[in-house]
Amino acid sequence: MSRREQTEVIVVGSGAGGAPVAAVLAEAGLRVVVLERGPWYTIDDFGHDEVKSCRRDFWIPFAQDDPHTLREAGQERAQPSREGWTSRNVGGATVHMGGFFYRLQPEDFRLRTLTGGVEGSTLADWPLGLADLEPYYDEMEVRLGVSGDAAANPRERHARPYPLPPLAAHPAARLIDEAAASLGWRAFPTPRAVLSRAYGRRPPCNQCGYCGDYGCENHSKSSALSTFLPDALATGRCELRAGATVSRILVDEGGPRPKVRGVEYLDRDGGLHRLEAPRVVLAASAIESARLLLLSRTPAFPEGLANGSGLVGRNLTFSTFAKVTGLFERAALVDRLGPEGMDLPFLQRSIQDDYFDAELGKGGTYNLILQHPNPINAAVRLTAMEDYGLWGAALKERLARYFREELWMEAEVFGEFLPTEACRVDLDPRVKDRFGLPVARITHHLHPTCREQSARMAGRAGRLFEAVTPAPLRTVLAGRGSTTFHLQHGTCRFGDDPASSVLDRDCRAHEVGGLHVTDGSFMPTSGGVPATATIMANALRVAHGMARDRG
């Protein structure tokens, strides 16, 4: 083991939950070390190589190299899988996100109260409300440079406008607006963590269309790599160590209450290091943070650190997901809308009219996008739609029509993933990582209500495309009631009662002093939106509290 080192705060993970904490605490004068298990990419490493970004291990490891294991509830043996990884690189999944930055809605914080509970679900209200997060949503949006129209969404309230106007929308957005209005809905410009204008030293989006699954080549996407981490490093009080895999949280169990005293971590070559600090912030993802707590057993916590309640790893939630696609003839759209702007890559529309209904319950969000420019994925998708009977010259001709003669409008449907007793993460008793440590075993279970709501919303998204003029050539529904594993929450839920939660309302472990968890683990419910904006806002809230009390 290398020599012992000391600092004031250790942050484990450099993405949405960790980077804001590092920035705020370093700006407040504390010495911070951020430990990230993955590599430190720069914009020189990014490009439009689909094989590199989407089909290799650039963002997440291959299952044979560093697996999770996955099983459905009721199955005995879990199989090695890439599912459950959000990323493994400096900046986390924010570097390759699409940047859809919705806020949670008031109903998200009181879902158990509003529904009276759901049979078969471990549903719980949040210990705070939207008003507690709103100032930090505001701060996050300003620090990142979120683009959007704060007045356009009737379901959201904002104390201030977004710092930037919405990104330029494809002319077909007008057709979505009209179709939504015909159904009694209101479409609004999608808020994005992507710059529509120059912001600080960063240039505006160049409209390449390669956001989701790709790193941004000019810092226009407001990832942690482009925003919070440079802010933290600029103070001179933050150090970022890439290739550092934390293997154990160290605890001093003397005295009336155990307290953290640091971490052990492994470098790329397996060398063991010890870093001491009185405060440790876990932000490695809901799955990996729970795994690390379970790995950090002590005599006082034989089932895992801070796990006296038995809830670490429990109440794991993801997001339900469906995709509905309307295939339109490009020439018909040009006839209706004119040729100007037809090459813009973003549809830039969202609908939340089905977010919550007192009778039907919790729905979610329709995120309206255009087809991604990925050619390999397009070929795979087109052949799948033809039962894999499309190949050779016929496939080339079909791809030519796809890119030149058609426009595909798509509704990504994000819905509530209810927590259940069966959906959880624990340590796999058989499979170990390359350092010999048990990997995270994911037991997946989707509540039947979530499947039903996802299918209902997918059907309604299909109605939206059918209401467009000119009519689509075809409407395709896919993935109704499926799960998006890279949106994850809930394994260390927060609450006021230590018997029913792992963290208090400030995301401090009830049972261990100096230990915070600031990734999506804290969330009792998933919400009907991607949670990145909420994770960042809450991380700011927690960090400001830590800076005030230095504890």
DSSP string, 17-37: TTHHHHHHHHHTT--EEEEES
* pLDDT average, residue stretch 10-38: 98
Model pLDDT, residue 324: 97
Other CB atoms within a 10 A radius of the CB of residue 292 amount to 25
Mean pLDDT of all residues in 296-324: 97
pLDDT of residue 358: 78
417: left (phi over 0), alpha (psi -120 to 50) or beta: beta
Per-residue model confidence (pLDDT) at position 369: 98
Cα(410)–Cα(381) distance, integer angstroms: 14
| Residue 353 DSSP class | T
For residues 430 and 374, what is the distance between their CA atoms, to the nearest angstrom? 37
User: Quick check: 510 pLDDT over 80?
Assistant: yes
225, burial (CB in 10 Å: exposed 0-12, middle 13-18, buried 19+): buried
Q: Rounded to 5 degrees, what are φ and ψ at 225?
A: -65, -30
The H-assigned helical ranges of 71-214 are 111-115, 130-144, 173-182
In the predicted model, is pLDDT for residue 551 greater than 60?
A: no
Instruction: Please give the Cα distance from 515 to 521 (Å, whole number).
Output: 13
Cα 230 to Cα 238: distance, rounded to the nearest angstrom? 10
The three-point CA angle 363-523-410 to 5° equals: 40
Q: How far apart are CA 315 and CA 76, in angstroms?
A: 19
What pLDDT, on a 0 to 100 scale, did the predictor assign at position 184?
97
Residues 401-460 pLDDT 10s:
999 999 999 999 999 999 999 999 999 999 999 999 999 999 999 999 999 999 999 999
> How high is the pLDDT of residue 550?
74
SS (H, E, C) 150-163: CCCCCCCCCCCCCC
Q: How many residues are listed for the chain in this entry?
A: 551
Statement: residue 479 has pLDDT above 80: no
CB 12 within 8 A of CB 284: yes
Lowest mean pLDDT among 109-113, 195-199, 354-358, 544-548: 354-358
What pLDDT does 359 receive?
80
Which pLDDT band holds residue 1 (cuts at 50, 70, 90)? Answer: low
Statement: residue 38 has pLDDT above 60 = yes
Q: Could you tell me the maximum CA-CA distance found in the chain, to the nearest angstrom?
A: 76
Confidence of residue 11 (pLDDT cuts 50, 70, 90): very high
pLDDT, averaged across the chain: 96
Average pLDDT over residues 478-501: 93
Contact 293, 258 (CB under 8 A): no
pLDDT of residue 3: 62
Is pLDDT at 2 greater than 70 in this prediction?
Answer: no
> Among 151, 223, 528, which Cα is nearest to 367's?
528
Tokens at 544, concatenated: 């400001």
Neighbours of 299 (CB within 10 A): 8
pLDDT at residue number 157? 84
